[in-house]
Amino acid sequence: MDNQRIILFFTLSFVLLLLWQAWQDDFAPTAEPQVVTERLLPSSDTNTTNNSSVSTSNDIPVVPKLATNVAIAQATPAEDNSLHGEQRLHIRTDVLDIEIDTVGGDIRQVDLIAYPNEVNRPDDALRLMQDSSFKIFIAQTGLLSDLSAPDHHAVFTAPKTDFVLKDGADVLRVPMQWQGEDGISVTKTFVFHRDSYLIEIEQQVNNASAENWKGYQYRQFQRTRPGDDESSAFIYTYTGAVFHNNEDKYEKYDFDDMDDDDLNRDFAGGWAAMIQHYFVAAWLPEASEKNHYYSKAPQNSPYVLGLISPEKTVAAGQTGNFNSRLYVGPKDQKRLKATAEGLELTVDYGILTIVADPLFWLLAHIYTLLGNWGWSIIILTLIIKLVFYKLSEKQYKSMANMRVLQPKVTSIRERYGDDRQRMSKAMMELYKKEKVNPLGGCLPMLVQIPVFIALYWVLLESVELRQADFMFWIHDLSSKDPFYILPLLMGISMFIQQKLNPPPPDPVQAKVLMALPFVFTLFFAFFPSGLVLYWVTNSVLSILQQWFITRRIEQQSAAKKLSS
């Protein structure tokens, strides 16, 4: 196999990888569209149910140690200055715009103020969580007990509807009250911090009854499968559940896994999350807690992913607290590392994480110096080319030597025709005489492939590049080039590279290679401009290096002929 075939094999393999990812995104089996059921949007009639009614909802977790079903306890009528029934609280901080339902205290809508949907519409914030008719992604908390306890169907009250983090304030507290009929009351408080996507949730149980209260805290997400409008036809990224613990570290549990089998695990600390391209929502329990992690896939209902805390006892006349944290925001690696152990792994680089992590570290440090992600990509590509310069030099020397020998190779092929055995023997004698290794370009190329693929995932997964401005017409490195200039430059650079390589003797192979620049141009026209910028930069640098080496080898060959 000569170098042309190796290049062709690698190029086609990379194209097939991208096509497979696109096929997975577009044509992999998906569940039927899921609709909002009564349990997601309880009616006012449901909210007035008696405290002693037994739950039949299939979205309430079952604690294995509890022998009986959990009752849904409802709130008593609200006072005049409070909310009652099914209404929404509106909370706004400097980075979050949130709606919380008085039913259950569910977080039903989350807008990320600093992340608009489109770069030219800065006031149109990205909606990470919502509860629209066919697109559901919400966060819920509740308590489970054989006695009175509010699950996420119980009705809470609040002192007002609007809460705003005021200028100069660093903390915003949003309290909600629930009152049972047997002396048990619960205060659920959401705590927000300035410049933070981390929400602290405190559930304080006040036991004014005559007996001890024993119960559990649960936290869960409900989410429908992503629709076609939530994914790209050309770029596949994982959307689904993940969890982390000290034993298994980072593990995916996608919607198909939930369909096949419910998650049923117990481990200390860790976290459970729903992730998508650039963004994540994660429940973060206390590190010392041993939680029960579970999932459900109810028919015609959103998928459920959650965790249940250990049992806690609140003595008669005493209070007890359940605490938890919820991160809902961008997959910003600095924030994620500071929030919880292993949470930065939600920036999923796949099996090449060990290579991709230092590449992103270097890219981020270059950005701190330049303040521009586009130029940072160019400088990083240049550094990688310098690191691999010697390996690339061997590769291009081998190609240049093969180019010099091409007339002799063609002559041998014409001389022996279909006698492949004699033709192969003659070629090996030629290579031995000229001291040329036809496979000399293989190893350098193979060594560089993991680095280039890892960089591909870094540029694809990094939220820092989302809507990052470069220059001229490129105002979003995570979106396609609006004028397709970069894909055209990439196609031209690939064509020039082919001209520097020795032409393949096989006419079919030659036609395929000639078509590749056009195929790649069309394919990359829909890729994020940051990825295409990297590819163009790498191609231009490769052309310069290959041209220099090829010219030097040809000059040496010409001088050798003159001297002989």
Calculate mean pLDDT across residues 248-271. Answer: 92
pLDDT of residue 494: 86
pLDDT at 413 over 80: no
E strand or H helix that includes residue 515: helix 507-524
Confidence grade of residue 407 (pLDDT, cut at 50, 70, 90): confident
Confidence grade of residue 40 (pLDDT, cut at 50, 70, 90): very low
pLDDT of residue 44: 33
Start-to-end Cα distance in the chain: 31
Confidence grade of residue 14 (pLDDT, cut at 50, 70, 90): low
Supply 435's token pair.
């001291």
Measure the CA–CA gap between 357 and 458, rounded to whole angstroms. 8
Measure the CA–CA gap between 227 and 524, rounded to whole angstroms. 23
Q: What are the C-alpha distances in Å from 11 to residues 6, 7, 50, 87, 341?
A: 8, 6, 66, 56, 38
What are the residues whose beta carbons fall under 8 Å from the beta carbon of 142, sequence distance 6 or more?
60, 104, 149, 150, 151, 152, 154, 217, 218
pLDDT of residue 564: 60
pLDDT digits (tens, 9 = 90+) for 41-53: 333 333 333 332 2
Burial (CB count within 10 angstroms: exposed 0-12, middle 13-18, buried 19+), residue 21: middle
Instruction: Tell me the CATH number for domain 48-56+70-77+84-348.
Output: 2.70.98.90
Phi, psi of 157 (to 5 degrees): -120, 155
pLDDT digits (tens, 9 = 90+) for 518-551: 888 888 888 889 989 998 998 898 888 878 877 7
pLDDT of residue 248: 79
DSSP for 321-356, please give it: EEEEEEEEEE--HHHHHHHSTTGGGGS--GGGHHHH
Measure the CA–CA gap between 171 and 187, rounded to whole angstroms. 18
SS3 track for 431-499: HHHHCCCCCCCHHHHHHHHHHHHHHHHHHHHCHHHCCCCCCCCCCCCCCCCCCCHHHHHHHHHHHHHHH
- pTM, rounded to two decimals: 0.80
Angle in degrees, 0-180, between the axes of helices 442-461 and 353-370, rounded to the nearest 10: 60
Measure the CA–CA gap between 105 and 156, rounded to whole angstroms. 7
pLDDT digits (tens, 9 = 90+) for 264-314: 999 898 999 999 999 999 999 998 889 999 999 988 889 999 999 999 999
Confidence grade of residue 513 (pLDDT, cut at 50, 70, 90): confident
pLDDT at 172 over 60: yes
pLDDT of residue 542: 85
pLDDT digits (tens, 9 = 90+) for 114-149: 999 988 888 999 999 999 877 899 999 999 998 899
Calculate mean pLDDT across residues 67-96. Answer: 57
Question: What residue segments make up the domains of the chain, in order of their start?
Answer: 3-24+357-563, 48-56+70-77+84-348
Supply 327's token pair.
């991160």
Measure the CA–CA gap between 192 and 170, rounded to whole angstroms. 8
pLDDT digits (tens, 9 = 90+) for 351-378: 888 999 999 999 999 999 999 999 999 9
Q: Is 5 helix (H, G, I), strand (E, B) or coil?
A: helix
Which has more confidence, 282 or 62? 282
**What is the average pLDDT score of the chain?**
81
pLDDT of residue 442: 61
Residue 204 near residue 184, CB atoms below 8 Å = no
Phi, psi of 125 (to 5 degrees): -70, 145
Q: Is 45 helix (H, G, I), strand (E, B) or coil?
A: helix
Measure the CA–CA gap between 126 and 518, rounded to whole angstroms. 35
